[in-house]
Structure 1
Amino acid sequence: MRKYILFTGGVLLLCSWFACKPEIKETGAKLKYFDLKEFFKADSARLAKLNPTITKTVSHNGDSQTKKLKIASWGQEFDLFTSSDINKPAWKDSYSVKESADSLIYRAKFPELKTRRIVIRKSNGKVVSVYILNNIHNILYNTTETLNYTPGQFYSIEKQQKVKVMGENDYLIKGVF
């Protein structure tokens, strides 16, 4: 019994060691792809300082509501954008990269990857738009998310969800500065 407890304890200790690995940024390693998390963190801080009033529209299956408001947490507002970050060590060779003078395009090489495409457009070294296409497909449901952000102009999140038993749902969130 004592050996079993020691063995189980050792396995749990080993598992927790692997779970506590720092993110790639903390190790000082160079990121392979555009740093979406850092970009949206910086822009969230900029917007928090400016505290702009936006016109926000939320729509579900065609029923929409529009309000003028101030966003309390830009980090939360951009959560779907930052969760589409592809800079995970396991994905370092999972995306093809096409770079030109004014854009970066990342395409997933494998169908099981949620983030399918990211397009970053730049002008004079500054990001002028971000486009992200996410897709999750399994036997129960299919979800497609299209995320667009043009700093100082608008952001939009479009989501189409098809659940086998429950049917289809379309969502739209759009904020205009």
Structure 2
Amino acid sequence: MKPFLFLLLCALSACGPTTPQTAPKPVYFDVAGYVKDQIGTLEKAKPTVTKQALISGKTNNQTTSTIDWAKELELFLQADINKPAFRTSYAVARPDSLTYEYTLKPSEEKLTVRALTIQLDADTQKPVRIEALLKTENPLYTSERHLWLESGADRRTGWGIRKYRVEGFQQLTYFDRNTFRVEARVN
């Protein structure tokens, strides 16, 4: 009888009210949250974008309002460092109250995002500028991408992306380096 009462007591105590698990507070600035919000805003607003691409010496200019914003801003989502595994991977500097600088610690050299800087607007506390350096290296392939995203006040969307730029290179071992630069202005 005693074992039965013990099991019953254990079972009943396990049925207590559960407390909802909350996600841990981000350690670093929430770049992904900002970019995802902007993707939603841009998909609704459908602004015209003037884009210039320079890939391996060839230039292409384009003006369009038909853009898959999730695909267009995918590299900026890749610059997100708010992942549980990265909680102690970056050195944090605050040169002033409106700037966050994150630099990859030397012991974490395998991570793609090497540096990330966010400058905030003094009034809105929203990003004015996001810069990131992404680097991938392995025995067969090397890639480096510099990302810039600038935001500001906009009469249609309130606060939003004004322009962005991605430049860098990709190189396969034993092949020439392919350089690229894509710059876009949201009108």
Instruction: Name the TM-score class by shorter chain.
Output: 0.7 to 0.9
8 Å CA contact 1:120–1:131 kept in 2: the answer is: yes
What is the distance in 1 between the residues matched to 2:184 and 2:133?
Answer: 18
Q: Is 1:171 matched up with 2:180?
A: yes
Q: Is 1:94 matched up with 2:89?
A: yes
Specify which of 134, 155, 160 is matched with residue 164 of structure 2: 155
Aligned pair count reads 152
| TM-score, normalised via structure 2 length | 0.76
* Cα offset, 1:27, TM superposition: 4.7
Query: Structure 1: which 4+ aligned runs deviate by more than 2 Å?
Result: none
| TM-score, normalised via structure 1 length | 0.80
Unpaired runs of at least 5, structure 1: 1-25
Q: Is 1:42 matched up with 2:45?
A: no
Q: Deviations over 1:21-54 (max 9, x none)?
A: xxxxx85211111111110011112222321111
Unpaired runs of at least 5, structure 2: 1-20, 152-160
What is the distance in 1 between the residues matched to 2:70 and 2:92?
Answer: 27
> Aligned AA for 2:126?
K
Specify which of 44, 49, 57 is matched with residue 52 of structure 2: 57
What is the distance in 1 between the residues matched to 2:31 and 2:179?
Answer: 25
Query: How big is the alpha-carbon RMSD for the aligned residues of Structure 1 and Structure 2?
Result: 1.5
Counterpart in 2 of 1:12?
none
| Matched residue SS, 1:153 | strand
What is the distance in 1 between the residues matched to 2:66 and 2:34?
Answer: 18
Look at both structures and tell me which one has the larger radius of gyration over its CA atoms: 2
| Matched residue SS, 1:47 | helix
**Bigger share in helix:** 1
Counterpart in 2 of 1:6?
none
What is the distance in 2 between the residues matched to 1:126 and 1:119?
Answer: 13
Counterpart in 2 of 1:126?
126
Instruction: Report sequence identity in percent.
Output: 28
Counterpart in 1 of 2:71?
76
* Cα offset, 1:166, TM superposition: 2.1
Counterpart in 1 of 2:104?
108
> Aligned AA for 1:85?
D
